[in-house]
């Protein structure tokens, strides 16, 4: 039954993506399905070079516009803040992850740890214009009721407020309290137990979204489906993990080479791209002992199962839209919130920085090989597989390098965006809010909303780019800067400036030309002092305009 359904979906999507379908078949105010996955690498989907069978997502991507140069924040909640507001995270309240706030950042404007009142959200504006607004999945933008989804524009929401187990055991992914439960909010109500039909996170978030969509067929909808997978702890149903048994015994180095070749063939990276350097903790597969290889292969089997689970449940949702006659009038936007997660357990929870959390984690989980991926497990897949997830890109999540901020993203809309293609223009995550507003025919209020001052959007609508209209900006030469955890990045066209501490950087500004060196391996700062000075000056302007507070303490993440 599953195979037959997948074939219907693939066939339907290829047909819907055909350029022979007239644009007039679409509503003037389309539905919008915004899908976000958590910590997925640039090359994990089949349509982006991966070997994991992602049939449903690939059908959408291959019938739409794949964005090969889509840039997020280096980590989850700052990305989500920009995604839902079109405003830089340092102004929206997520200048840093709430869990990582430094003493000098606490109580500073822009570092509230939740979406602050100085921004108006995308769902708020869409709801005011007649859209029904729904959200399921990971929120990570505020725990208290005034900061939850229901207070920030969603008609209905089932939200995992912070990271948690992917099963129904309600284990928090981190807490200093051994008796704590993960926090979920059902609309405006905290829940003490998860519903009986909650078997696995990706399954339930889609089930609930389908329920919301079925509650109203009269108004257009904005549906925000925010998977918590494949974020750690890596967990998946046993049957899904079993699908990949032995698949990764060949090792991460061989898979990385295969993925890089496919990404070149797909036009997602330049033909002269090379494998990025190993991270400081990275090791060659050939150097691992047999026991270490088993652990590494098992971790990737679980990770692949998580991606496969995302894909099959997205397939269920898309099939539901198709059978209810709503797919033709729905624009689907997909992205990962940042690059692959390359930290390991010790990197993430060093005992000297988080002693209470580390103690609880150590004492309450089964870390055995046999239990990996199951309830009560706590698995990362680390720097070696993260390199495989983004083989041409340097480093990973939490870094301003391409491996941390270049996301697999695509936009699908039946007949709306011309022929399927790969688009290499620089598109930022904060561009999506203005893009969706323009699709819906909704104007942002600018500096005031409901008698209060708000930040204007600094993102730019990508709709003209997607529709091949006359460009309003030179998308390849945009200036962009970001900062997280004290790590900084600046880009102007193909030029890229980064500042990172050892052993990942030098502790000084490093300059790269991405057109010639996508992997950011050759520092050109000494050879191009004028370009170095130009981008450093832009960093200072960006930091001043966005009230950046560089942390006086970092955990090492």
Residues 173-184: pLDDT tens digits? 999 999 999 999
Mean pLDDT of the chain, nearest integer: 94
Mean pLDDT of 218-247: 98
Three-class DSSP category at 294: helix
Q: What is the structure's pLDDT at 18?
A: 28
Is there a catalytic annotation at residue 365? no
Q: What's residue 27's pLDDT?
A: 61
Res. 3: pLDDT tops 80: no
217 an active-site residue? no
Per CATH, the architecture of 2-20+28-545 is what?
3-Layer(aba) Sandwich (3.40)
- Laid out side by side, the sheet with 479-484 consists of 479-484, 487-492, 495-499, 509-513
Neighbours of 247 (CB within 10 A): 14
Mean pLDDT within 27-56: 96
- Average of per-residue pLDDT across 315-338: 98
Torsion of CA 137, 140, 145, 150, to 10 degrees: -40
Tally of CA atoms within 13 A in the half-sphere of 75 that contains its CB: 23
Catalytic residue among 42, 90, 140, 444: 140
The percent of residues above 90 in pLDDT, for the chain, comes to 93
Strand partners, 66: 410, 422
Per-residue pLDDT tens digits for 189-232: 999 999 999 999 999 999 999 999 999 999 999 999 999 999 99
Give pLDDT, residue 468: 87
What whole-number distance in Å separates Cα of residue 163 and Cα of residue 42? 22
Catalytic residue among 42, 76, 147, 444: 76
- Tell me the per-residue pLDDT of 338-385, one tens digit each, with 9 for 90 and over: 999 999 999 999 999 999 999 999 999 999 999 999 999 999 999 999
CA distances from 468 to 29, 31, 136, 410 (A): 19, 21, 32, 15
Span 26-55, average pLDDT: 94
Listing DSSP states for 127-151 in one string gives HHTT-EEEEEEE--S-SSGGGSGGG
For 451-509, the pLDDT digits (tens) are 999 999 999 999 999 998 876 778 778 899 999 999 999 999 999 999 999 999 999 99
Give the span between the Cα atoms of 7 and 12, in whole angstroms.
8
- 464, containing H or E segment: helix 463-466
Q: What percent of the chain has pLDDT over 70?
A: 95
């Amino acid at each position: 039954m599953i195979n037959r359904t997948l074939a219907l979906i693939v066939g339907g999507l290829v047909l819907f993506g055909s350029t022979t379908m007239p644009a007039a078949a679409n509503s003037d105010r389309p539905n919008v399905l915004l899908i976000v996955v958590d910590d997925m690498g640039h090359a994990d989907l089949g349509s982006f070079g991966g070997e994991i069978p992602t049939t449903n997502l690939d059908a959408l991507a291959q019938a739409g516009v794949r964005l090969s140069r889509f840039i997020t924040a280096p980590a989850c909640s700052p990305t989500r803040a920009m995604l839902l507001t079109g405003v830089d995270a340092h102004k929206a309240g997520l200048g840093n992850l709430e869990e990582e706030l430094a003493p000098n950042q606490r109580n500073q404007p822009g570092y509230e740890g939740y979406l602050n009142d100085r921004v108006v959200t995308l769902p708020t504006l869409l709801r005011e214009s007649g859209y029904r607004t729904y959200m399921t999945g990971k929120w990570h933008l505020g725990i208290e009721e005034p900061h939850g989804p229901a207070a920030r524009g969603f008609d209905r929401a089932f939200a995992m407020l912070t990271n948690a187990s992917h099963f129904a055991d309600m284990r928090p992914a981190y807490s200093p309290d051994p008796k704590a439960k993960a926090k979920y909010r059902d609309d405006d109500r905290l829940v003490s137990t998860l519903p009986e039909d909650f078997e696995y996170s990706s399954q339930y978030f889609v089930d609930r979204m389908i329920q919301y969509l079925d509650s109203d067929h009269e108004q257009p909808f904005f549906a925000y489906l925010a998977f918590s997978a494949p974020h750690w702890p890596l967990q998946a149903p046993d049957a899904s993990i079993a699908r990949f048994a032995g698949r990764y015994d060949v090792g991460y180095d061989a898979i990385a080479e295969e993925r890089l070749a496919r990404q070149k063939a797909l036009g997602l990276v330049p033909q002269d791209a090379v494998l990025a350097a190993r991270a400081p903790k990275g090791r060659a597969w050939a150097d691992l002992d047999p026991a270490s290889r088993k652990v590494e292969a098992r971790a990737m089997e679980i990770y692949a199962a998580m991606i496969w689970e995302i894909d099959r449940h997205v397939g269920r949702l898309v099939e539901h839209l198709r059978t209810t006659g709503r797919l033709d009038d729905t624009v689907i936007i997909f992205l990962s919130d940042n690059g692959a997660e390359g930290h390991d357990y010790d990197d993430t929870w060093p005992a000297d920085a988080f002693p209470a959390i580390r103690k609880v984690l150590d004492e309450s989980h089964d870390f055995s090989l046999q239990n990996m991926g199951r309830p009560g497990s706590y698995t990362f897949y680390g720097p070696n597989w993260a390199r495989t997830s983004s083989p041409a890109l340097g480093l990973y999540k939490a870094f301003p390098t391409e491996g941390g901020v270049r996301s697999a993203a695509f936009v699908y809309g039946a007949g709306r965006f011309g022929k399927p293609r790969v688009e290499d223009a620089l598109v930022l995550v904060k561009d999506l809010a203005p893009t969706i507003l323009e699709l819906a025919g909704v104007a942002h209020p600018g500096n005031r909303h409901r008698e209060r001052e708000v930040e204007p959007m600094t993102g730019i609508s990508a709709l003209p780019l997607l529709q091949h209209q006359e460009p309003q900006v030179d998308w390849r030469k945009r200036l962009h800067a970001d900062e997280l955890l004290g790590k900084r990045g600046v880009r102007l066209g193909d030029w890229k400036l980064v500042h990172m501490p050892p052993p990942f950087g030098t502790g000084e500004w490093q300059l790269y030309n991405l057109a010639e060196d996508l992997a950011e391996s050759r520092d050109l700062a000494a050879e191009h002092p004028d370009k170095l000075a130009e981008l450093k000056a832009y960093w200072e302007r960006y930091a001043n305009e966005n009230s950046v507070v560089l942390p006086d303490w970092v955990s090492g993440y």
